[in-house]
Each structure stands twice: as structure tokens, then as C-alpha cells.
Amino acid sequence: MNEIATLLDPTVIRSGFPSLRDGRIYLDNPGGTQVHESVYAAITDYYRDSNANLGGPFETSVASDRLLAEARAQVAGFLGAGSDEIAFGANMTTLTMHASRTLFRELGPGDEVLVTGLDHDANVAPWLLAAEDRGVVVRQVGIDPEVCVIDPNVFAGLLSDRTRVAAFGWASNGAGTVNDVAALCALCREAGAISYVDAVHFAPHGPIDVAAVGCDFLVCSAYKFFGPHVGILFGRAELLERHRPYKVRPAPDEIPQSWETGTVNLEGIAGTAAAAGYLRSLGMETVAAYERGLATRLLEGLSAIDGVTVYGTTDLDRRVPTAVFNIAGRGPAEVAATLGQQGIFVWDGNYYALELMQRLGLEGSGGAVRVGAVHYNTAAEIDAFLGAVADLA
Ligand SMILES: Cc1ncc(COP(=O)(O)O)c(C=O)c1O
């Protein structure tokens, strides 16, 4: 692990995460990460120094306006977007429920939406519900369970000049696999469809540049990248302007505020900006390079244990350090509970990746165990986890 150690120093990284001092092995990160100390400080500072609603003629309100503007700029920088292209909300699911209704407002029978059999339901159900309301036809991209990635050829075959929106994920939270999002976005552009990318699972693991990837919308959640429970929506300014979000009448008509419903979570947004700033200071390329070592160790280690089945492609270029697996003869709930008793935290279940679990034949049998590392995890933690799995197998 020397090569990894030179990229990021785990001791330095871990000192920035107070909750890691408890000695537990947090490998439940795809469900939500631990929080960086700069986030605690930003939230406390907000409450102490500038707690007020927006738009008032007094000091704390002006400070809140400034904080929101600075947070938009910081998060925009994290995603390669413009500040007027970032809207905040409760979480990714709420933002997507909202966006799907807005984007479907003028659609009807004859229009189509494309969803995938790989996505978290938060990027499927909102489109199904909006389609049902408007009589829009739904098409679904099927997934090869051997690889658990979206095949661009299959995707292209389902796009047509009737497709208005295609919703797909950057990385799968149910398999740990990574899609070729730039290729999928290019196909959407050719077909004249809006691309709506779920980057919730990818965001803590690698660089995101919405301009380079060519997406129209992208959503993520700060609690998955070391921040608080706040959702983020990027939309291309032209599209945010063109579509009419559902909103209350006195609220601002200008983007991006027009896409935010009600009073935003200013303390959470202060923390979100701190989390984005922390990651930008590390550099997501550096994070990705460090994590590649963890992913290699994790996937190779799991695959080498007799009786363990790991789902999805083994191509490390197409993976984040998340692995989804089962142990022959042991239920996933039993495995997760046993590891939990040993202080090793992992999830079991379907992770809301419903179609994927059905396709893997696991939906009726408790799903699978999910282990997910991030940049604060160490090789020693992966080894402890692998040892515990080997004992169980
Ligand atoms: C890939 C993916 N998309 C969407 C979501 C939903 O995000 P939120 O909890 O912010 O609504 C999750 C949450 O686990 C996720 O993993």
C-alpha cells in the first residue's frame, strides 16, 4: 500500500473526522458518510453569527444572503457548473420529485421517458409517477447482471425522437459499478432528450465536471460526501429558465431560487459548502487515485474467499470502492449483523435499487451485503473486514 500512502496520508485525513476516533470501522459509507470537522464548524458559525431568513435589511440577513451566494459558488466549483445553475433542496429524492413534475408539465401521450434497471428508485419512481400523471410512455434500459453497467448500445436503441428525458446514474449504489455517463449524455443530445444524472453514489469518489460530461441535470446529496443532509440539483441555466417549476407566487422568479421551494436549510447549506470546499482542497483526482488502491484490495480480497459471490464487473476502471456480495449459506442480514457486532459497519438489503436486485435474483432473499469505502478508510480496515468475512464464509 506504499503507493497509496504517498497520495493521501490516512492519519492526516482521519484527524479531520472526529467520529472516526471511536475505533469503529465505517464501511456503511454508501448509506451516508461521516462528517468532516470543517462542516461542524460551518454549521455552528452559521447559527452563532448569521442566523436569519434571507432578504432582510439587517446584518444577519445580509450575512445569510452572502453565505448562500458563496455556498452556491463553492458547490458550483465542485461540480464545474455556474452559480446560477445550483439549487438546494431537502435531499436528492425530493429534488427529483420536484424536477420530474416540472419537466413533465407540458408533456403528454406520445412523449417518452427513459429510465434504467440499474438506478436507485429515487431516479426511477419520480419519473414513473410523473409519466402516469401525464400519460407519458416509460421505457426501461435492461441490465446484464454479469456486469451491472448500462450498455450504451442498449440505451441508444431505446432513445427516439419522442424521448423527452433520460434518467440514469453515474455510479450504481447497488453494485458499485460506474457508467460511461459522457457517452450516455452524448446519445441524449443526439436524440434531443434531456439527460438527468444521479451522481449521489459517485460524488464522494471522483471528479465531476458537468460541462465535460455534457449533462443537462445532475443531482447529488451532501450527506454522501462528508456533509449534512442537503440535496443539490445542477441544471443547465437555459433549461432552468425554460421550464416553469412549481412554486409559491411571492417567491423569486429568477433562477436558481425559482427551483427552491420554501426557506432553504441555510445551516445545512453552510455545511455543504464546507464539505465541497474540503474535497476541492484535496482534489477529487487524488481521492480517486487513493480509493483505487482500496477498491483493488477490497474486490480482489472478497473474490478470493471461497463461497463469496461479488456482483458486477471486475474491471476496476468501472468501479468505485463499493462491493455488493453474498456468502453462500448465510443470509445478508445475518452477515451484516454479525459484522456489526464486531464493530464493522456494512448494509444489507436492496438499497432501493429494486430492478437491479430483481435482475440479480436477490429481491426475494434479503438482497445482498454492501461494503463501501471512502478516502478516510484504510488498507488495515479493509483487511479487518476481509478477515471477518473469511471467518464467516
Ligand atoms: C444512488 C442514489 N441515488 C439516490 C439516493 C437518494 O438520495 P437522498 O437520500 O438524498 O434522497 C441514494 C440514497 O441512498 C442513492 O444511493
Residues 6+ away with beta carbon under 8 Å from 26? 19, 20, 33, 34, 345, 376, 377
Q: Are 337 and 299 within one domain?
A: yes
pLDDT in the model for residue 85: 98
Q: Are 200 and 294 within one domain?
A: no
Domain boundary among 281, 307, 322: 281
- Over residues 43-70, the pLDDT tens digits come to 999 999 999 999 999 999 999 999 999 9
Q: Are 142 and 249 within one domain?
A: yes
- What value does the mean pLDDT of the chain take? 97
User: What's the CA gap between 362 and 367, in Å, rounded?
Assistant: 5
| Count of the separate structural domains present in the chain | 2
CATH number at residue 341: 3.90.1150.10
Residues 6+ away with beta carbon under 8 Å from 248? 261, 262
pLDDT in the model for residue 18: 95
Please identify, by atom number, the ligand 1 atom nearest to the C-alpha of residue 30. Answer: 16
| DSSP SS3 for 223 | helix
Per the CB < 8 A criterion, the answer to whether 224 and 32 are in contact is yes
Domain boundary among 281, 305, 331: 281
Q: Which residue among 28, 93, 322 is best mutated to probe the pocket of ligand 1, counting the most ligand atoms within 8 A of its Cβ?
A: 93
Please identify, by atom number, the ligand 1 atom nearest to the C-alpha of residue 31. Answer: 14
- Over residues 293-352, the pLDDT tens digits come to 999 999 999 999 999 999 999 999 999 999 999 999 999 999 999 999 999 999 999 999
Ligand 1: centre distance to CA 63 (Å): 31
User: What's the CA gap between 363 and 152, in Å, rounded?
Assistant: 26
Please identify, by atom number, the ligand 1 atom nearest to the C-alpha of residue 171. Answer: 1
Helix, strand counts (H, E) of the chain: 15, 13
Q: Are 164 and 187 within one domain?
A: yes
Q: Which residue among 201, 217, 220 is best mutated to probe the pocket of ligand 1, counting the most ligand atoms within 8 A of its Cβ?
A: 201
* Banded pLDDT at 22 (limits 50, 70, 90): confident
- Over residues 100-152, the pLDDT tens digits come to 999 999 999 999 999 999 999 999 999 999 999 999 999 999 999 999 999 99
Ligand 1: centre distance to CA 91 (Å): 8
Residue in the structure block whose three cell numbers are 443470509 = 331
Question: Residue 113 corresponds to which cell in the numbers above?
Answer: 421517458
Q: Are 272 and 305 within one domain?
A: no
Q: Are 113 and 185 within one domain?
A: yes
Ligand 1: centre distance to CA 3 (Å): 32
The residue whose C-alpha atom lies closest to atom 14 belonging to ligand 1 is: 31
Q: Are 250 and 341 within one domain?
A: no
Please identify, by atom number, the ligand 1 atom nearest to the C-alpha of residue 93. Answer: 11
Q: Are 121 and 241 within one domain?
A: yes
Q: Is the peptide bond before 256 cis (omega within 30 degrees of 0)?
A: yes
User: By residue range, what is the domain housing residue 126?
Assistant: 40-281
In 37-169, the DSSP E strands lie at 86-89, 112-116, 137-141, 163-169
The residue whose C-alpha atom lies closest to atom 7 belonging to ligand 1 is: 92
SS (H, E, C) 20-69: HHHCCEECEHHHCCCCCHHHHHHHHHHHHHCCCCCCCCCHHHHHHHHHHH
CATH number at residue 162: 3.40.640.10
User: What's the CA gap between 124 and 199, in Å, rounded?
Assistant: 14
Ligand 1: centre distance to CA 228 (Å): 14
Element of type H or E holding 324: strand 322-327
Q: How many CB atoms lie within 10 A of CB 46?
A: 21
Ligand 1: centre distance to CA 92 (Å): 6
Express as a percent the part of the chain with pLDDT over 70: 98
Per the CB < 8 A criterion, the answer to whether 321 and 333 are in contact is no
